[in-house]
A and B are shown apart, each in its own frame.
Chain A
Amino acid sequence: GAVVSQHPSRVICKSGTSVKIECRSLDFQATTMFWYRQFPKKSLMLMATSNEGSKATYEQGVEKDKFLINHASLTLSTLTVTSAHPEDSSFYICSARDHGGTSGRASYEQYFGPGTRLTVT
């Protein structure tokens, strides 16, 4: 149990286009999901916290108009990179917090998706 999926796993897009990344909790409900960005050989940097039914909370320095986050259901959060540029190329990882209501598991557990590699040409 406790599986988080991300789609797509890899995406290549042209500069100026938008790309959407999906993060799904497959066997639990997640009121909160997190989006991280990881550059090669670097650590994970929190971009934003996504809360179901409300606006996402962005970390300082993250452009909310560029990285649109929608968390419309308890099992799905999406990250849309708008007007992508080569500097947006990165590895994007989501995690989902199991709020414990459906699974009975501890609510502090976070489960990570497998990541999405975005390349902007």
Chain B
Amino acid sequence: AQTVTQSQPEMSVQEAETVTLSCTYDTSESDYYLFWYKQPPSRQMILVIRQEAYKQQNATENRFSVNFQKAAKSFSLKISDSQLGDAAMYFCAYRSGNSGYALNFGKGTSLLVTP
């Protein structure tokens, strides 16, 4: 079974600064997808960014970018120019490319943004 590890239960960043959230995963598969989801206090899950394992280029969505290191099985999320609205729980998730479409989530990182 694939495991997703987020080793930072909580992180804090000042507004306008940059923060990196860590995620590592364990898999023997070669075809898979990785995701970062944001869960604000409303608890609605919001897709932040996704990465296909076969793509070498790191995904980027505006202020959000990832550092995907396939050999190291690492998938960190960088948030640039942090905003107060970025405060939330962030979950790293894995999805197999071979069987089913269910997501396997890490334990999450609570991000606090201070003015």
Give residues in A with beta carbon < 8 Å to B. Answer: 32, 34, 38, 42-46, 49, 91, 93, 95, 97, 108-110, 112, 114-115
Bound form: Cα–Cα A96–B40 in Å:
20
Contact residue among B44, B95, B102 (Cβ-Cβ distance under 8 Å from A112): B44
Contact residue among B43, B102, B106 (Cβ-Cβ distance under 8 Å from A34): B102
For A32, the closest partner residue in chain B by CB is B101
The main secondary structure of chain B at its interface with chain A is loop
Min distance, Cβ A20 to any Cβ of chain B, angstroms: 20
Interfacial chain B residues near A110, Cβ < 8 Å = 101, 103
Give the most central of A34, A49, A108: most B CB within 10 Å.
A108
Give residues in B with beta carbon < 8 Å to A. Answer: 33, 42-45, 47, 91, 95, 100-108
Counting residue pairs across A and B whose Cβ atoms lie within 8 Å, the total is 41
Min distance, Cβ B59 to any Cβ of chain A, angstroms: 14
Going nearest first, the 3 A-B pairs with the smallest beta carbon separation are: A112-B45, A43-B105, A43-B107
Cross-chain contact B108 with A93 (CB below 8 angstroms):
no
Q: A112-B44, A114-B42, A114-B44 are in contact. Are A44 and B101 (CB under 8 A)?
A: no
